Structures are given as structure tokens and as C-alpha cells.
Structure 1
Amino acid sequence: MASLTCLHPTHPLLLHLGSALPAISNRCFNHSSSLNRTLSAKSPRTVPPRAMTKPSFSPAQDQVASPGDFEFVPPLRIVEYPDPKLRAKNKRIVTFDDNLKKLVHEMFDLMYKTDGIGLSAPQVGINVQLMVFNPVGERGEGEEIVLVNPRVSKYSKKLTLFNEGCLSFPGINADVKRPESVKIDARDVNGTRFSVNLSDLPARIFQHEFDHLQGILFFDRMSEDVLDSIRGQLQALEKKYEGMTGLPSPEKIENSKKRKAAVGFGK
């Protein structure tokens, strides 16, 4: 498995929760997906700034999360498509306390139990700007990463195509094209600001989870041919939602062209 060698072990991006909580870990990509196998022989690397271009979006109008936004009854559960919480606006976090650390711990625990390598807060029904991931995807191995209020400052012009899965889309894997590398600004679980370059598998995990924080789902970035290959599976999830809730599906895959994501970030 690839490891996050582009980060120094003492970098503030790496999670440090102290002794108050058990060691934490994370995962939204399926650990057994072909994405992992494809990148298993590649080590992440830092990409020179000249290979990147600035995105066009602003966090200025983000709503601020309140203490009530962090309330949940454990254990957490994965929110599956087409639940409207996956499309809802996610609030900016301004309080870095034990409630946040508890949420992070529970998200990591759920990721390991569901065999993922990345997870965003909206995927557990909590609409705040938080993601966790571990490129190795094994409890006690690799680097456990927490990103709060992440922003993309640069991303590479070079795009790569890989097969992605998502815990919110059980059993569905398909090709998605994304920038090969990104430079991000974020806070860690203690509120410390930092910037870091990510490439290869860590960059792809980040972009997948960052899309969740923007209300963008991975099929929004698929080509029409690829989307057609999973259309029946998406429709099955829509019917499953209707059967479980007694409500009409909040979105239909036949209307996907209206939701197609623009190239880049935050759109």
C-alpha cells in the first residue's frame, strides 16, 4: 500500500489527540478498490508549484457550525446516496474542543469497520467541514489524517483517471478523472493552520472527500459513458431509499446532467 511519505511525521497535518481518546484511524474509498491496487507501487511526492493553477472559489459565505451541529448518538452510520445530507451545505468549524475530537474518533472507528480509507462528516450525517483519511487503510498503520475547513490553493493541470469507490455508494466502483496533485490549506484537530502538498493516492483521497464537503458526489465527475455503466446501480440505491423512508428520492440519476460538476474545485 502507498504511504503518505510526502508528509513529515511531525507535520501538524498528522493527528495528535493526546491521551484523552484512544488512537484513531480512518477510510470513503473502498480499501479493496482497484484504485488502491493501481497506486500501491507509487510513493506520493510533492509537486512543484509551477505545475499547479489556482482554483476559483471563496469560503467567505460559509456558515459557522454551532455546538448542536456536533451532536450525535454513537455508533455513527454511513449515509447512503441519495440522502439529501450528501448535498447539504457544510458549515465551517470554529470550535476545537473535545466534541470535535470525539466526532473524529468515531469517524475513524467507522471507517476501519467499513473497510474504507477516507471519510467526510456529511457521510455520517453531520454537515460540517471535516474529513479524515489514512492512505494505508489499516488500523495502527500508515498516517491518520484530519483536515478541518480544508481549502485548495493550487492543483495540477495534469489529470489522471482511476477507479474509485465510496462508502456512500456500496458496491459501486467507476473511473473518475482528477488532478494528479493539490496544495491545500487547512486546520488540524487542535485548530492549528497549515499548508501541505499532496499527490498520488493521498491527493485523490483528499479530492474525493473535499468534493463531499462541497456537496459534489463522485458520479458528478464521471464521463457520460462511465456514468451509463453504473446508472442501474444508482437507480437501485434511489429505490432502496424510497423503500426505507417512504419518501420520493430527492434526486434521480436521469437528471444528473443538471448536477454535473465543473472542472476544478468548489463549484
Structure 2
Amino acid sequence: MASPTDHAPLAELVEQLLSTDGPLPIVAAGDPVLRRGTERYDGQLGPALLARFIEALRLTMHTAPGVGLAAPQVGVPLRIAVIEDPAPVTEEVRLARGRVPQPFRVLVNPSYEPLGTARAAFFEGCLSVPGWQAVVARPVEVRLTGEDENGRTVDEEFSGWPARIVQHETDHLDGMLYLDRAELRSLSSNEAMTERWTQATPEEAAAALGFDVPD
């Protein structure tokens, strides 16, 4: 998918994307739109178009499937992301990763800051880097501020896997991919993950692939 031109009005770009029913094409790493950062949302789409765009992001996220999707991942450089995680994991994984269900929610103009110094490292993937995963260390707890789709203030603390999701998606809005934070010796294909690294934590992968679990 080609990146939007710098001169294309954002509303026009979104209308064009929504002209075809179904999920939106996801932009892959290497497209400049993923690296430019985003424009703060300030009504550029209008309420009706924003609602349609959010629903398209939700459909695209579900179809992929993923637990989060940021506007730049469909070629739109606006500071908007969606998250939702049914967390269909084993009890072992839930306990190790702090992965608990998250309802669908919209993040508008989000930013985060770590709470405390605790960090956790786990394999992480991205819909814009299909087929691969790598270990990323992130703060265990963060404070997320911003707005929802109705302009209401969001000021919330997240921990465990939900904190990882909001960090990952907010990073997209700053032109950052998870690989920028990853331990690259851990980089593994999805096939290798299925065959070798299904453990709840990455210690076995670290020993076999020759990297230290970051903290």
C-alpha cells in the first residue's frame, strides 16, 4: 500500500480508505508512514467520519487478528489507536505475563510514562512486521493519558500485558516499531515460536539463542 502524499487532506484519505467495505490494508515495515510520527487529533475527521474510521480499525484488528492497531498501520498519520484483548491464554501464561482481558477501547492523543522501575521481558509481535516475534523489555506499569473517541479525558494506570499493549500502540504513534526496543538475537519466526518457544517466559529461548533476557 502506498503511503499517503503529504498534501492529501486527512479526511479525504480516510474517506478513500473507507470506500471499500471490509478490513483495511495493513502497512508493513519499510513504509515511511510508520516512521514519521503522527498529527495530534483535533477534529480533522469530524464525528461521523471518526466513528466510521474507528469501526474500520476495529474490524481490521479483529480480522488480522491482533490486540491493538494504530492509525499509521493503515496509512493514516493521526494520533489514534484501538486496543482489545480477549486474552485466551492458559493460567500459566496469565500469571507469568499478567495478561487479562481488555475491552475494546479507543486511544486518542495518548502518551504514557512508566510507574516505578520494574520491567518485564517477553516475546512481542506486530501486525506491521508479519511473521516475526522478538523479546522486548518494557515497564511493568505505566500511566496512560489522553482522550477517548468522545473527547473525554483518559488518565489510567495499566500493568502487566495491558501495559505492554498500550505502550506498543502508543509507540506506533511516535514512529517507533517494537523492533527498535527488541533484543535482536531473540528474533524468531512465527514457525519457530510455535515449534520451540511456547513457554510462558523467554528464558529457554535466551539460553538457546545466546542472549540475556533484558530487564
- TM-score, normalising length from structure 2? 0.70
Match in the other structure for 2:206: none
- Pick from 105, 113, 135: which aligns with 1:175? 135
Is residue 99 of structure 1 aligned with residue 99 of structure 2?
Answer: no
Look up the SS of the partner of 1:173 in the other structure: strand
Q: Are 2:187 and 1:230 aligned?
A: yes
| SS state at 2:151 partner | coil
3-state SS in 2 of match to 1:195: strand
Deviation at residue 69 of structure 1 after TM alignment: 5.4
Whether 1:156 and 2:116 are equivalent positions in the alignment is yes
The alpha-carbon distance between structure 1 residues 124 and 159, as it changes in their structure 2 partners (threshold 3 A), is same
Residue identity opposite 1:67 in structure 2: A
Letter in 2 for 1:213: L
Point out where structure 1 has 5 or more consecutive residues left out of the alignment.
1-64, 234-267
Contact 1:133/1:144 (8 A) holds in 2: yes
Could you tell me which residue of structure 2 aligns to residue 122 of structure 1?
A: 72
Q: Does the CA-based 8 Å contact 1:69-1:127 persist in structure 2?
A: no
Match of 2:174 in 1: 214
Within 5 Å, give how 1:1-267 maps onto structure 2.
67-68=11-12, 70-74=14-18, 75-95=23-43, 97-136=47-86, 142-223=102-183, 227-230=184-187
Q: Distance in 2 between matches of 1:188 and 1:157?
A: 28
Could you tell me how far 1:68 is from its partner in structure 2?
4.0
Moved over 2 A (4+): 65-75, 153-156, 228-233
Contact 1:130 1:146 (8 Å CA) reproduced: yes
Q: Is the 8 A contact 2:114 2:143 kept in 1?
A: yes
1:217 deviates by: 0.7
Q: Kindly, what percent of the aligned residue pairs are identical?
A: 36
Distance in 1, matches of 2:116 and 2:69, equals 23
SS at match of 1:143: strand
C-alpha contact 1:115 1:137 (8 A) present in aligned 2: no
Aligned residue number for residue 98 of structure 2: none
**What value does the CA root-mean-square deviation take over the aligned residues?**
2.3
What is the DSSP-based 3-state SS (H/G/I as helix, E as strand, rest coil) of the residue aligned with 2:138? Answer: strand
Q: Which amino acid aligns with 1:119?
A: L
Per the normalisation by structure 1, the TM-score is: 0.57
Taking the aligned partners of 2:131 and 2:33, their CA distance within structure 1 comes to 20
Q: How many residues align?
A: 164
Q: Deviations over 1:14-55 (max 9, x none)?
A: xxxxxxxxxxxxxxxxxxxxxxxxxxxxxxxxxxxxxxxxxx
Say whether the 8 Å CA contact 1:76–1:124 is kept in structure 2.
yes
Kept in 2, the 8 Å contact 1:69–1:128? The answer is: no
Residues 173 and 66 of structure 1, relative CA distance in 2, 3 Å threshold: closer
Residue range with higher mean Cα deviation, 151-160 or 195-204: 151-160
Q: Which runs of 5+ in 2 are unaligned?
A: 1-8, 89-100, 191-215
Is the Cα–Cα contact under 8 Å of residues 92 and 149 in structure 1 kept in the other structure?
yes
In structure 2, the CA distance between the partners of 1:130 and 1:177, relative to structure 1 (3 Å rule), is same
